[in-house]
Amino acid sequence: MKSTISALFTSKINAPLFNSLKPIALSFILFSSLVNATTMVDLPSWQHTVLPNAPSLRGSAILGDSLWVSGSNNAVFVSQDAGKTWTDKSVNVPLKTGFRDIALFDSKTAIVMGVGSGEQSMLYKTTDGGNSWKLLYQNQDKEGFFDSIAFWDQNNGLLMGDPVDGFYVIKKTNDGGKTWRRIEINNIPTFIEKEAAFAASGNTLIVGEKGKAWLTTGGYSASVYSSTDFGETWQRHQVPLFSETQTAGGYGLALNHQQQIFVVGGDYLQRPASYPNIATLIDNQWQSVDAGKNGLRSAMSCQGNLCLATGKTSTDISYNAGKNWQVLANPNAKKDDKGFYTLASDNMMFLAAGSNGKVGVYSFRR
């Protein structure tokens, strides 16, 4: 006899109906079924693909059946059939960079962000699904280093970069990335000594509803900066993540379906170690989330009450919008490489990507 959760996922329930269920009732059904079921839980399995040339993949984006990943050596790969097949759409230019973030506007239009010192930090845009790319913007400051981009819509977005002149570089565009204006430094908190930002997953900077935006940092500290006015002014908040080393702190951000903000992190030099790795904002107070302390988490994403948080060593899953977590099995992956660097989701499908060209799709679609 099938468990309740098995019946939910094997019946022909569609995503709109799934999302329309009351969050509390759905969370209770899913979590209770998982804890109390005596029969096999019929969850999806990871669908794995290994892309050519073994790129380190740090950027991901998904919109419907259009899936994009990006990474080292100008790599961009695109699937237009929900991950069944992939096509190499890499940016063919002499200057090599690592594309660590993607802003996807429709199945044909995307911006990829390259990282590196000086001119290696750049933005390229495509309007034909990656068949051709145009240089949109290039860093001219030798101290500059791009970390992440995020857009509210096709015209309005933010770019975050490493500190220059004692302040993080936060730039804003109102024309789709053609021009960028640096936010006034007196509207940004002063850089903390040894503070660092990690361009680890394309989730270092995210935006939300009504002009909200967040970015996260680390380096002997763990902080989240927040804005409520489309990035014009920022405030810093300390968050309860592991922060005892230069390579520790916040690595990625996410929102659940209630627009509740989460930060994930740890230390990439101590990936499998046990330490606080997820925190969230509750009643205007940042609180640690008991997620099992299963090592570095560099990305998180949610669909309805379902959330995944991942790092190179493993992935966690929550059935109640990030309140409770457990390790998500990935039995066919190698030890200490069962997770991913980056994560994105849309319409009940999760897209993950990581080391050596590894891509995973975890889908609740029926």
pLDDT value, residue 333: 87
218-to-250, 294, 302, 341 alpha-carbon distances in Å? 5, 19, 23, 17
Q: Does domain 46-91+185-363 have CATH number 2.120.10?
A: yes
Of 149, 151, 147, 169, nearest in space to 159 by CA: 149
CB atoms < 10 A from the CB of 245, how many? 15
Instruction: For the chain, give percent helix, strand, coil, nearest 5.
Output: 10, 40, 50
| Position 334 confidence tier, pLDDT thresholds 50, 70, 90 | confident
CA distance 267 to 290: 17
| Position 5 confidence tier, pLDDT thresholds 50, 70, 90 | very low
Instruction: Yes or no: say if 307 and 256 are a contact pair by the CB < 8 Å rule.
Output: yes
For the chain, report the end-to-end CA distance as a whole number of angstroms. 21
CA distance 53 to 246: 31
Q: What percent of the chain has pLDDT over 70?
A: 89
CB atoms < 10 A from the CB of 50, how many? 10
Residue 11 has pLDDT above 80, yes or no: no
Tens digit of each residue's pLDDT (9 = 90 or more) over 27-86: 444 444 443 333 334 689 999 999 999 999 999 999 999 999 999 999 999 999 999 999
Could you tell me the residue ranges of all domains in the chain?
A: 1-43, 46-91+185-363
The type of residue at 355 is S
pLDDT value, residue 366: 83
